[in-house]
Amino acid sequence: MSFENIVLEMPEPGIYLLTVNRPKALNALNPATLGEIGQAVAQVAADGAARVLLVTGAGDKAFVAGADISAMQSFTAVEAKEFSLQGLRVLRSLENLRVPVIAVVNGYCLGGGCELAMSCDWILASDRALFGQPEVNLGVTPGFGGTQRLTRLVGRALALELVTTARNLKADEALAAGLVTRVFPAESLREEAFKMARVVASKGPVAVRLAKETIQRGQDLDLDNACVLESDAFALCFTTADQKEGMTAFLEKRKANFEGK
Ligand code: CAA
């Protein structure tokens, strides 16, 4: 499938890389770009060989600087609602991909860009990354889930402070707040992201998918029901060849060769 606003490639076996590719507009998300991200997600979802998806922005200036302000400027309320629902739907499909999705944030990560990053499973940042929800500067609220995902990630007080003041967080502050999991020098961010992707891709694929599903589904349940999900996932692993291979390889002191079944 060929795209105009994004690039989807598999540079290494099992590792997909999605690059938002509108560097002249700092990779801003317009409806066409969102549509292409949705198609790319569907493509990765349909590929049983996929193990992990990296999401990044083209150029060294921005991950994504937000939803496209030129596209939104003359929206009616109905169009704004449709755009918001499109963004929410596409970001939710990314979040619901069965394989882990890692945001690789190399610069401005603002508004819809921060919302895109937060719909990934975790965020790796360069030391030059800048995070924020600056929508109130434009007289609007976040529209692609920022009020909800930011609150879940950093807590209500900081989310409210950031969303109502439009203050941006530098990478070190985003790390301290739990918004990102690791910060790397800008020059090594891409290689560090691939290193991490290779680690994920080397593990038991069924176990990785079940772990993601259990963490994701469990976080909205009470602890008792969430732990039932976990024990069911654990038991399901024992139907797989990967469990036999993983445990046998450990006992034979060799590296496991997982086949994802
Ligand atoms: N939408 C459309 N175009 C954008 C954009 C955006 N979100 N962000 C940057 N651009 C464009 C600029 O208009 C500019 O285009 P031209 O060269 O044609 O003039 C180009 O990208 C480069 O940007 P700047 O010249 O502004 O670069 P800078 O280095 O001076 O500033 C910046 C960088 C601080 C990120 C600044 O571009 C900026 O503040 N961008 C807007 C950030 C923002 O408000 N994001 C939230 C959008 S609303 C939203 O996302 C709603 C939602 O939740 C769904």
- Kindly list the averaged pLDDT for each block of 10 residues, start to end, along the chain of length 261: 94 98 98 98 97 97 98 98 98 98 98 98 98 98 98 98 98 98 98 98 97 96 98 98 97 96 93
Q: Is 82 assigned a catalytic role? A: no
**pTM of structure:** 0.98
Q: Give the pLDDT score at 52.
A: 98
In ligand 1, the atom with minimum distance to the C-alpha of 111 is: 50
Q: Give residues (CB < 6 A) around ligand 1.
A: 25-26, 28, 65-70, 87, 108, 110-112, 115, 134-135, 137-138, 142-144, 146
CA of 207 to the centre of ligand 1 (A): 40
In ligand 1, the atom with minimum distance to the C-alpha of 69 is: 1
Q: Give the pLDDT score at 1.
A: 73
- Residue 101: which of 212, 12, 23 has the closest Cα? 212
Q: Is 245 assigned a catalytic role? A: no
In whole angstroms, give the CA distance from residue 87 to residue 143: 8
Domains detected in the chain: 6-201 (3.90.226.10), 204-251 (1.10.12.10)
